[in-house]
């Protein structure tokens, strides 16, 4: 069982590319609300990137391999910021070394890999402070989403009926020059897995368990192995229904979530992160509902909000959100969209259990192109 850290929390980052810089900035001691943390070590297989990252962020110890970092730097927490196909083995290595781990989305590239991770933390973690793994879904942590989720849970808006979940982003062909992007074996999917997963996670954060999915996926314009657009109809256990679109082909980019309850519509329109001002609420005729703004200072969505929660939990010996159960539900919705699209059949959670090929691979070996 991992011990509760007594001094500042020693964080290490593995993978020092694009998103690692957001992590390093969001961990800076100046960030208000953070439990004391130090960026104690970093690792990357690319020595030039590693050296540049180490210089930029004043990292005292750098390593080419995670195993060496784990043995020598003895971190309390590892942030995994490598390409998706590396997450599974690296998270397992951390858990086996007794170190808790915060994995960038998507946490892994198959449900099988996900369940192996859960099994690796299940023993000691069940009884105490870790080691655990959690997933980065930073848009759960803006003040407005947190407040909205609480109001929806206590039925302030009535019963959820209908939702819209759009991730309409634009990525040109050059974006896919990075070798791991746009491939099932390294990214685990296209915009459904890599981009829309953020909005779908917000959708599930509020509406809970999904029950059935119907979908199509297409490769319309980009030279990739994966889809570049998907469209799905999702039914929830509550009976609510959602329309979901995931695209990297949309020149006017937008992330849009809309929830129609019996007493109000709640909407957020943003792109890569929201503030309180991006939300609006419209009561149904004859109803009045409270303002959606959070009572506090309105933390925008972003890594800093999630890290504050993770570090506070680590310092207190508690498991942080986003738990494996929550994270698996989001990954399983992605798997269901691919399964429904590539089989042409409606898909339930039970349909994704072994021996479904979609348990082992997001494309189930069945992409029609």
Ligand X SMILES: NC(=O)c1ccc[n+]([C@@H]2O[C@H](COP(=O)([O-])OP(=O)(O)OC[C@H]3O[C@@H](n4cnc5c(N)ncnc54)[C@H](O)[C@@H]3O)[C@@H](O)[C@H]2O)c1
Among 2, 9, 14, 165, binds ligand X (CB under 6 A): 14
CA atoms of 155 and 131, how far apart (whole Å) = 35
- Which C-beta is closer to ligand X: that of 103 or that of 367? 103
Binding mask 128-147 for ligand X (x = CB under 6 A): --------x-x---------
Distance of closest approach, residue 43 Cβ to ligand X, in angstroms: 5
* Binders of ligand X in range 160-219 (CB under 6 A): 178, 194
Instruction: Return the range that interacts with ligand X (CB under 6 A); candidates 17-25, 256-264, 279-287, 346-354.
Output: 17-25
Q: Where are the beta strands (DSSP E) in the chain?
A: 9-14, 37-43, 62-63, 77-80, 100-103, 133-135, 160-170, 210-218, 229-236, 241-247, 249-261, 264-270, 279-283
DSSP three-state, residue 53: helix
CA atoms of 204 and 210, how far apart (whole Å) = 8
Distance of closest approach, residue 126 Cβ to ligand X, in angstroms: 27
Establish if 15 lies at the interface with ligand X (CB under 6 A).
yes
Among 9, 41, 79, 82, binds ligand X (CB under 6 A): 82
- Which C-beta is closer to ligand X: that of 87 or that of 146? 87
Among 31, 35, 38, 49, binds ligand X (CB under 6 A): 49
Q: Are 138 and 321 in contact (CB under 8 A)?
A: no
Instruction: Return the range that interacts with ligand X (CB under 6 A); candidates 45-53, 70-78, 114-122, 216-224.
Output: 45-53
**Which has the closest alpha carbon to 27: 273, 306, 317?**
306
User: Which helix H or strand E contains 239, and what residues bound it?
Assistant: none
Establish if 306 lies at the interface with ligand X (CB under 6 A).
no
In this structure, the strands spanning 229-236 and 241-247 are antiparallel
Among 75, 83, 305, 320, binds ligand X (CB under 6 A): 83
Instruction: Return the range that interacts with ligand X (CB under 6 A); candidates 75-83, 158-166, 290-298, 306-314.
Output: 75-83
DSSP string across 275-307: -GGGEEEEEPTT------S-SSS-PPSSHHHHH
Establish if 52 lies at the interface with ligand X (CB under 6 A).
no
**Which has the closest alpha carbon to 102: 314, 279, 351, 289?**
314
For the record, the structure tokens of 238 come out as 């509550």
Establish if 18 lies at the interface with ligand X (CB under 6 A).
yes
Exposed, middle or buried by CB within 10 Å (0-12, 13-18, 19+), for 296?
Answer: exposed
Residue with smallest beta-carbon separation from ligand X: 17
Establish if 107 lies at the interface with ligand X (CB under 6 A).
no
CA atoms of 86 and 92, how far apart (whole Å) = 10
Instruction: Return the range that interacts with ligand X (CB under 6 A); candidates 39-47, 224-232, 244-252, 353-361.
Output: 39-47
Among 3, 28, 33, 46, binds ligand X (CB under 6 A): 46
Tokens 């759960």 sit on residue: 140
**Which has the closest alpha carbon to 187: 155, 159, 213, 222?**
222
Establish if 158 lies at the interface with ligand X (CB under 6 A).
no
Establish if 86 lies at the interface with ligand X (CB under 6 A).
yes
Establish if 321 lies at the interface with ligand X (CB under 6 A).
no
- Which C-beta is closer to ligand X: that of 84 or that of 130? 84
Q: Site residues (CB under 6 A) for ligand X?
A: 14-20, 43-46, 49, 66, 81-84, 86, 104-105, 136, 138, 178, 194
């Amino acid at each position: 069982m991992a011990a509760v850290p007594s001094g500042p929390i020693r964080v290490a980052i593995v993978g020092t590319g694009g998103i690692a810089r957001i992590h390093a900035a969001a961990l800076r001691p100046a960030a208000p609300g953070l439990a004391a943390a130090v960026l104690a070590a970093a690792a990357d297989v690319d020595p030039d990137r590693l050296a540049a990252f180490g210089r930029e962020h004043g990292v005292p110890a750098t390593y080419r391999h995670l195993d060496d970092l784990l043995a020598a730097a003895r971190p309390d927490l590892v942030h995994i910021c490598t390409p998706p196909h590396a997450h599974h083995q690296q998270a397992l290595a951390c858990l086996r070394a007794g170190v808790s781990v915060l994995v960038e989305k998507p946490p892994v590239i198959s449900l099988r890999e996900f369940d192996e991770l859960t099994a690796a933390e299940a023993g000691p973690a069940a009884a105490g402070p870790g080691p655990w793994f959690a997933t980065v879904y930073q848009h759960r942590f803006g003040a407005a989403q947190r407040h909205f989720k609480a109001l929806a849970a206590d039925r302030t808006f009535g019963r959820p009926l209908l939702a819209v979940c759009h991730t309409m982003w634009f990525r040109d062909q050059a974006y896919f020059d990075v070798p791991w992007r746009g491939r099932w074996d390294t990214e685990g999917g296209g915009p459904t897995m890599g981009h829309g997963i953020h909005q779908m996670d917000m959708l599930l954060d509020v509406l809970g368990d999904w029950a059935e999915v119907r979908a199509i996926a297409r490769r319309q314009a980009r030279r990739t192995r994966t889809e570049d657009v998907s469209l799905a109809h999702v039914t929830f256990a509550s009976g609510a229904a959602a329309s979901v679109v995931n695209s990297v082909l949309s020149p006017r980019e937008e992330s849009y979530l809309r929830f129609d309850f019996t007493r109000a519509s709640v909407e957020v329109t943003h792109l890569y992160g929201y503030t309180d001002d991006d939300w609006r609420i419209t009561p149904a005729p004859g109803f009045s509902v409270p303002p959606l703004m959070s009572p506090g200072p309105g933390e925008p969505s972003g890594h800093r909000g999630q890290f504050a929660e993770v570090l506070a939990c680590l310092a207190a010996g508690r498991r942080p959100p986003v738990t494996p159960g929550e994270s698996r539900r989001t990954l399983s919705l992605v798997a269901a969209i691919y399964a429904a699209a590539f089989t042409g059949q409606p898909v339930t959670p039970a349909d994704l259990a072994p021996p479904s090929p979609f348990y082992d691979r997001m494309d189930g070996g069945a992409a029609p192109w």
